[in-house]
Structure 1
């Protein structure tokens, strides 16, 4: 079977299974093209640390080549992945609108080499192609996968792969597809490690009831899609510690009917994946409201994660969603837990701790889990403003398998979710977060600068070397050096790379020597003392020849 076979069959699949017009359908992606002319660029500096006083510092991701915010564009629906072999390598994708005068969008992407403190935007993938619903994931070897719904009919998805931390991407591979697609990669460490799994909703898709497919060869080829019983939609995929695959979602048209589908044979490349599905009670209906904080989009999707820790919670399955509960409260954030591999679930737990009667919106609920089993939740919350359109991002965590949650904490300033629309009245459909044993990394959209932009925020301390100890502790306890005093362990940055090419070499030595010993000349200052002297030369020579990228 050639790599192009699946793509060539998609038009036929679409004819065999014409799209029904289901009742009470949530918003879905529609084509709006062709691409308009890009207006002349007007830029301004992005919000800096002073904007986030007394809060974790968020960093704008969708910047131009000069690190500036482009006025009049829009970016939303962020997705994030982190290289498990090197936590400094982070990639974020998003829906990129070159101008808010159009709804035409492309696959935005940027990468970081310093764990999200700064970003490089190399430009969109496949320029000129209409793309939406981006999803990123990484495998155990540090390869990144970018899943995208594309084209004029929006019935197909493909997957780009990067093996250099998001700098460059191979040509996309057809992967079935449809609206509200999701992707995940097996990192279980077993025989199925590296399998790539994708899913999408049935009612706007390529292949009728066949809504799931996989690649067992690292994204080189995706197999023909197969069904998932009861068609869970508007959700995500998780892979369990033994390679079992979970698909969480809701039944289209029955917005309180949550489902979890499980496959124990998708990990076997010789077998056709099959699923068994159970009903799940999340204590309310999945929401999409014309009068809500995201009028033209979802107010969240169904998240499923699994526990890979070595303790008694290993194998637990969790589902989270922003739900419309019974009564006057428009939206809460609920989570449920299964301790028997997804067969049964306990009662829903309310994560948001605003008093009853506040009637705030807790929307865009997002869930991730650390290797040690800690659960992290982030969401948009209107409790502080009392206004439907003004939210802050809130965060909480659980260290007892989701039974109780830490006091909720606001981690961003307020923003208006109803401005900066790119000819569609929404700010995307989701946020995305990745956890490690020290903290969590969140990609989110907000309008701090007056338009829709993508931001990265680190919740908790960094762990750049992935040793499970915060960078601050590593430095203070002498486990890591920090010659320039910037709070980043030296092993995690390219100390001595003065020209920024990722290698400490002859040109860097020349730059240092060009201002060596000259008062006030800090162009070679590697120790942070404001001078270029013998100490700086010693630091550079100690790193000479190092390749950092």
Structure 2
């Protein structure tokens, strides 16, 4: 004979806690904890000296060593001739980097000019500034002591040079089309990456004509390269203007850490070309944004990659940066022809497959009401903006002259700045000249005339804990004459705060409903007793959640979390703790159920004993299914399923309530495999367990027995 006794408990009494004043709704639960706003960079502006078309370069071997070219260089004293302004303290002070004037005359002879110079460093820390020409030849200045003193390289362009005619498989030679090599807007870049197989190569892009047949001296652009520090030059390539109507100057050339070389510019529309060079482009009336890629150190270039081909955007200029041959970023200025004519904006796109496909267009300048153009031009020259990429952090930096605060005068502007880590979303525009606007050009009835002030520059500097972007441009506080003697070279430092994390914790049941709160806002649950034995808990299982948020301004690429679980609680099920009991999610939505899971069981370990400790390691977030770093403002969620280890044990209800504490320690790094700048934080949170004795209606809040039935089975 077996006696079976069934006890029916009232539906809600056992689940309610004494003192509970609120039960969060499911809608509250579905909202992931709000993300903390990311840190905002600080801005500082100083003056270098007299201003005129400045560029800036950062020494990769010593980020405190800066060179600013242009802007007041020239005669210094005696036989010294100032090539560039040099700093050894991160821009706090400046001095001239000199060459001997008599030495220059002995090499270049007479009739030479030095205009629009740009600076660069190679991987060894050698500096190059160029270009200087005498109408038939061009040179670079080179320094091996951080810019303190300069000598000349061998001529990188001569009239008898042999240049490979791009896409024509034949050799051409430079020629004078009523003018020699045109030094305006040169691009000079040395490969600064120690990881590159072509490190220390020097590349120069300069406008020049070439003799394409005995009767035609056609205009175009020549790329020259040196593999031995400027001692010799060779294997240059010449691009006809009819092939690609404009290779963008200055930032129209870029080098990636894997040694890939990129050129960017504007190509003719397929609609007007018999043999369209821009493969896979739409047939539009507008020109298209073209990227050319070299994977052999600039010896040869690919067929044009169609990067920008929007029928609603008329292109003005295209600039390029890349982290590899596959990951290419373009920023471009274009006329949004869906609006009124000449409404120019800055846009960006990114390709992660070498240019085969591109992301949707992202807008950078953020004034949309009224949606008028604010990117400014200092006279008859091009619009003033620049783009660069931090090789250490992957941050994209864009700065431009902006006239949103100019009132009725188009001769003044401010410098605005924005940044992105993916070219898909850009930070709110930052005004870097709060005491502006400044004069930027010759004034003529509130409009600019041509002054020659036609480019600015952006660069980055990074050491662990010291992350900066630099902007140099020529602006003045007085009206400018023709050669802008009132302009000064302004040096803007954008300093990003150190990486930071925030971790918070919360608790739900297995249905993702949050635990109720007591009057103090603490999570609570019930421990159910019968005859002095712990029978169960309500809820039966608890999910402990840790929300890790990147609250800094630097993407985080690797992460370690150690979570010490509450005593008397263990991961459920115990035989599959790391495989089933722990889950990791990328918090990209407002609902817990909608977040994509990124759990990799191989990255999880659980220590035995009490309390248990969960150890999570993510060596490279980019290698998870989210495919990118943890960006500023983004979060990951770690969920641990817990059950009460004291079930089926004898306990005293009088020993309750008991507080149970969960502790989380988190560290994250700016580079994969726990390298780069580190951020760390910790937190703890607790919940309270109340004893509830079944079949004891005398105790307030305990479960009531509604029916007792006894059956006898024979």
TM-score of Structure 1 vs Structure 2, range by shorter chain: 0.5 to 0.7
Report the equivalent of 1:425.
450
Matched, 1:440 2:469: yes
Which residues in structure 2 correspond to 1:144-223 (within 5 Å)? 144-148=127-131, 150-151=133-134, 153=135, 156-176=137-157, 178-179=182-183, 180-188=185-193, 189-201=195-207, 211-223=222-234
Report the equivalent of 1:457.
492
> Deviation at 1:440?
0.4
Q: Does the 8 A contact of 2:69 with 2:83 survive in 1? A: yes
Q: Does the 8 A contact of 2:191 with 2:259 survive in 1? A: yes
Q: Does the 8 A contact of 1:76 with 1:454 survive in 2? A: yes
> Deviation at 1:204?
9.1
Report the equivalent of 2:347.
334
Q: Does the 8 A contact of 2:60 with 2:192 survive in 1? A: no
Report the equivalent of 1:305.
321
Which runs of 5 or more structure 1 residues have no equivalent in the other structure? 1-53, 64-74, 100-105, 288-300, 309-313, 464-468, 471-549
Report the equivalent of 2:358.
345
Q: 1:432 to 1:419 in 2, by over 3 A?
A: same
Query: What SS does the corresponding residue of 1:434 show, helix, strand or coil?
Result: strand
Deviations 1:247-288 (A, max 9, x none): 011248997332111112236xxxx4243212232753344x
The range that moved more, 124-133 or 274-283, is: 124-133
> Deviation at 1:383?
1.0
Q: Does the 8 A contact of 2:443 with 2:449 survive in 1? A: no
Q: Does the 8 A contact of 2:139 with 2:153 survive in 1? A: yes
Choose the corresponding residue for 2:238, options 227, 231, 237: 227
Give, in whole Å, the separation in 1 of the partners of 2:156 and 2:296. 20
Report the equivalent of 2:262.
246
Q: Does the 8 A contact of 2:289 with 2:307 survive in 1? A: yes
Query: What SS does the corresponding residue of 1:200 show, helix, strand or coil?
Result: strand
> Deviation at 1:237?
1.1
Give, in whole Å, the separation in 2 of the partners of 1:462 and 1:219. 39
Matched, 1:112 2:134: no
Matched, 1:59 2:80: no
Report the equivalent of 1:22.
none
Matched, 1:393 2:374: no
Report the equivalent of 1:474.
none
How many residue pairs get matched? 369
Give, in whole Å, the separation in 1 of the partners of 2:196 and 2:182. 29
Q: 1:350 to 1:380 in 2, by over 3 A?
A: same
Q: Does the 8 A contact of 2:457 with 2:472 survive in 1? A: yes
TM-score (norm 1): 0.60
> Deviation at 1:410?
0.3
The range that moved more, 131-140 or 119-128, is: 119-128
Report the equivalent of 2:673.
none
Q: Does the 8 A contact of 2:129 with 2:142 survive in 1? A: yes
> Deviation at 1:59?
2.0
> Deviation at 1:315?
4.3
Deviations 1:350-380 (A, max 9, x none): 1011024342321422111112211111111
Q: Which of structures 1 and 2 has the larger relative contact order (alpha carbons within 8 angstroms, sep 6+)? A: 2
Report the equivalent of 2:66.
90
Q: Does the 8 A contact of 2:124 with 2:192 survive in 1? A: no
Q: Does the 8 A contact of 1:282 with 1:348 survive in 2? A: no
Matched, 1:408 2:414: no
> Deviation at 1:334?
1.3
Give, in whole Å, the separation in 1 of the partners of 2:405 and 2:356. 38
Give, in whole Å, the separation in 2 of the partners of 1:368 and 1:431. 12
Matched, 1:323 2:334: yes
Q: 1:183 to 1:263 in 2, by over 3 A?
A: same
> Deviation at 1:96?
4.6
> Deviation at 1:418?
2.2
Q: Does the 8 A contact of 2:113 with 2:133 survive in 1? A: yes
> RMSD of the alignment, in Å?
3.5
Larger radius of gyration: 2
Give, in whole Å, the separation in 1 of the partners of 2:393 and 2:494. 16
Q: 1:89 to 1:228 in 2, by over 3 A?
A: same
Q: Does the 8 A contact of 1:202 with 1:233 survive in 2? A: no
Query: What SS does the corresponding residue of 2:491 show, helix, strand or coil?
Result: strand
Q: 1:414 to 1:427 in 2, by over 3 A?
A: farther
Query: What SS does the corresponding residue of 1:133 show, helix, strand or coil?
Result: coil
Choose the corresponding residue for 2:402, options 381, 402, 407: 381
Q: 1:453 to 1:420 in 2, by over 3 A?
A: farther
Q: 1:439 to 1:122 in 2, by over 3 A?
A: closer
Deviations 1:293-338 (A, max 9, x none): xxxxxxxx53211126xxxxx9421111222221225321111211
More strand by share: 2
Q: 1:228 to 1:325 in 2, by over 3 A?
A: same
> Deviation at 1:445?
1.2
TM-score (norm 2): 0.47
Q: Does the 8 A contact of 2:361 with 2:424 survive in 1? A: no
Q: Does the 8 A contact of 1:427 with 1:445 survive in 2? A: no
Q: 1:337 to 1:156 in 2, by over 3 A?
A: farther
Give, in whole Å, the separation in 1 of the partners of 2:187 and 2:218. 16
Report the equivalent of 1:493.
none
Q: 1:338 to 1:157 in 2, by over 3 A?
A: farther
Give, in whole Å, the separation in 2 of the partners of 1:86 and 1:462. 20
Q: Does the 8 A contact of 1:234 with 1:249 survive in 2? A: yes
Q: Does the 8 A contact of 1:186 with 1:193 survive in 2? A: yes
> Deviation at 1:234?
2.5
Give, in whole Å, the separation in 2 of the partners of 1:109 and 1:439. 21
Report the equivalent of 2:534.
none
